Amino acid sequence: MDKRMKTFRLVQKICLVLLFLALNIGAYAWYQSGYSWEDIWTFVSGSAMGEVAAILGLYCLKTVVWVIPVNALYIGAGFLLPVWAAILVTYTGILLDLSITFYLGRQVGKTNIMDAISSKKAGKWLLDEAEKNSYFASFIIRMLPGPPIELANMFFGTLDMQFGKFILISMLGFTPGMLPVIFMGKSVTDPLSKEFLLPMTVSLIVAGISILIYFFYVKKRSNSDGGTPI
């Protein structure tokens, strides 16, 4: 691990610690001030620009603090904003995440990213597939459980990929799983309603189809190569 990767890991740890401290201090301050959840909600939802800035800020923070789940950001956008605005802000946030981590990968270097990503089974598949068709790998990995999104983006940044095509294909890959979850956010306070259950079902179907495509493709490629499926 060279100096650049060590510096990046240090920044990750510092940001994670600061985030943890900020959340604890904020929670304690709210508790001591006697605010209720209704007060907190009124504060959060009081300004549309504040909501947009908070969501985009979390996407930027996510480029370093990978523990922030992207589905939580989808639901949060759907909950706080009108549907059209939630979709627009989410695409903007994803664009920021993709752009920052793509170019960060070029700075950190291919060897460091490969060492970090190869520890996961899906990561090994990603490394192998990217050598043959990096654009297909960039599309399908968005719909599968695997390495953190940011780590995958950093890896693609180390390859000889056109940035514009990388962004377009990645956005298309995110879309099938993203849209239903945003619609779930509109009814997150009533998880037994059809408005919540229907998009959740669609989201699960999309995930299932993506996994089937993945295993079908891997099996087909393995049979053609005479190897063992991943």
Examine the pLDDT at 222 and tell me if it is beyond 50.
Answer: yes
Output the pLDDT for position 198: 84
Compute how many other C-beta atoms are within 10 angstroms of the C-beta atom of residue 77: 27
pLDDT over 80 at 40, yes or no: no
Total-model pTM: 0.73
Query: What's the confidence (pLDDT) of residue 91?
Result: 94
Give the residue-averaged pLDDT of 10-39.
62
- Determine the average pLDDT of the residues in 109-134: 70
Mean pLDDT confidence for 124-144: 76
Per-residue model confidence (pLDDT) at position 167: 92
Size of the chain in residues: 230
- At residue 92, the pLDDT reads 95
Check residues 146 and 177 and name the one with the higher pLDDT. Answer: 177
What is the spatial distance between Cα 33 and Cα 25, in angstroms, rounded to a whole number? Answer: 12
Pick the more confident residue, 189 or 45.
189
Token pair, residue 165, equals: 């095509």
Least confident of 90-104, 127-141, 182-196, 209-223: 209-223
Domain definitions of the chain by residue range: 3-225
